[in-house]
Amino acid sequence: MATIYDYKVKDRKGNEVSLNEYAGKVLLVVNTATGCGFTPHYEPLEAMYKDLRDKGFEILDFPCNQFAGQAPGTEDEIHEFCTLKFGTEFPQFAKIDVNGEEADPLFAWLAAEKPFAGFGKGIKNFSLDKFADMNNKKFGDKAYIKWNFTKFLIDREGKVIARFEPTEDMADVRKAVENAL
């Protein structure tokens, strides 16, 4: 049975990184974008990281430009934006695709482990659902991730235990992380 430790990714400098380096830690894997309405999620993510990293918590940030072109720029430009605007210190990896034929295998696996279950109720969530569907039609059955700032919670054994859509309250995400720790 696969775990997150079976995957390798590229860091923002293009070097291959085995996710086995994070064995034994609780992980939150996030696809991000610097020009999205959910970009302010960086703030509670960084606060969570600062508060919990000494307890064995890591956030793995994967920028993605597949959602309305909201992550333009190079890895260095994205990193500079995140560190200057939000003071992020958690690991940021190379920009990737999370959907389609070129989707990173890690995100295909994450989404297979915890498929999309909806954005929740309310007019804002309904609107995002319609917009995401239009954006993701081009990916067909390989539309694994519906929007920026989808988060996957991984336990210390490398198994996916929860998926949080960007519409999920960040306080609920933090509570789940704390329970996993």
**How many C-beta atoms lie closer than 10 Å to residue 112's C-beta?**
11
Phi, psi of 123 (to 5 degrees): -65, -40
39 contacts: CB under 8 Å, gap ≥ 6: 32, 33, 148, 149
Are 116 and 165 in contact by the 8 Å Cβ rule? The answer is yes
- The answer to whether residue 64 is catalytic is no
Catalytic residue, chosen from 26, 36, 59, 103, is 36
Rg over CA atoms, the chain: 15
Place of tokens 């995100």: 107
Joined together, the tokens standing for residue 140 give: 């067909």
Asked if residues 139 and 153 have their Cβ atoms less than 8 Å apart, the reply is no
DSSP-assigned letter for residue 38: T
Active-site positions read: 36
